[in-house]
Amino acid sequence: PFAFGSTLPPPITVIDSIDGDDLFNVTTGTPGSCSCETPQCNLNPSTGMRLLFGDSRTYNSESCDSYFVGGGIESQDGNPCYTWQASQDGCNVISGGVTGDCSRLNDVICTAVGTNVNLTASIDRECDTLPYQGCTLDESTCCGDNNECSLAEGSTTYYLCQPKAN
């Protein structure tokens, strides 16, 4: 709660710089969370509020000494790839899953500069085989920096896009 005589925290402007609206939903609110923010970041509790590439949304607090805004990056099928959270102290990103189209996301970063919070990522649009799908050795390009086309465990003929062996 806001204490008499204290100063309200600065606004936070969230900027979606991830050029992947065809593959991903960048949201405020669900699957992340927010606290004490104005306007409300999660008007739709089941899906959050979508930010399209290049969109920005500004939040502040009218009654709290501190607040935070969070959200997520989900694949179009609803698979949560990452959650993120920002406050006047900075921001961070937490991995939620790297299967399916989520494996196409690389270098997901939340950067706070002044009152701006910028969400960035690179998207692998060259890959042709998602993790844990069959692949053809020396022909398939597996999605995800940490995946490769290699023999499935226990098989001598079936190849699978899967995490690289250590």
Q: Using one digit for the tens of pLDDT, what is the confidence trace for 141-162?
A: 999 888 999 999 999 999 999 9
Largest CA distance in the chain: 72
| Residue with the two structure tokens 């694949």 | 75
Average pLDDT of the segment spanning 18-31: 94
Residue 86 contacts by C-beta under 8 Å, 6 or more apart in sequence?
A: 12, 14, 68, 69, 70, 110, 112, 117
105 pLDDT exceeds 60? yes
**Which residues partner with 160 through β-bridges?**
134, 150
- Which structure tokens are listed for 94? 């937490």
Q: pLDDT at position 119, please?
A: 97
Quote the percentage of the chain above a pLDDT of 70. Answer: 96
User: For 17, left (φ over 0), alpha (ψ -120 to 50), or beta?
Assistant: alpha
Rounded to two decimals, the pTM is 0.86
Check residues 3 and 113 and name the one with the higher pLDDT: 113
Q: Is the pLDDT of residue 4 over 70?
A: no
Give me the percent of the chain exceeding a pLDDT of 90: 75
Query: Is residue 114 scored above 60 in pLDDT?
Result: yes
Q: Which two tokens stand for residue 25?
A: 């939903």
- Alpha-carbon distance of 141 to 18, in angstroms, equals 22
pLDDT at residue 5 is higher than 60: no
The CA-CA-CA angle for residues 82, 44, 26, to 5°, reads 30
- Strands (E) in 17-115, as ranges, are 24-28, 49-51, 56-59, 68-75, 80-87, 90-95, 105-113
Asked if the model's pLDDT at residue 120 lies above 80, the reply is yes
For 42-95, how does the pLDDT look when each residue is reduced to its tens digit (9 = 90+)?
877 777 899 999 999 999 998 898 999 999 999 998 889 999 999 988 999 999
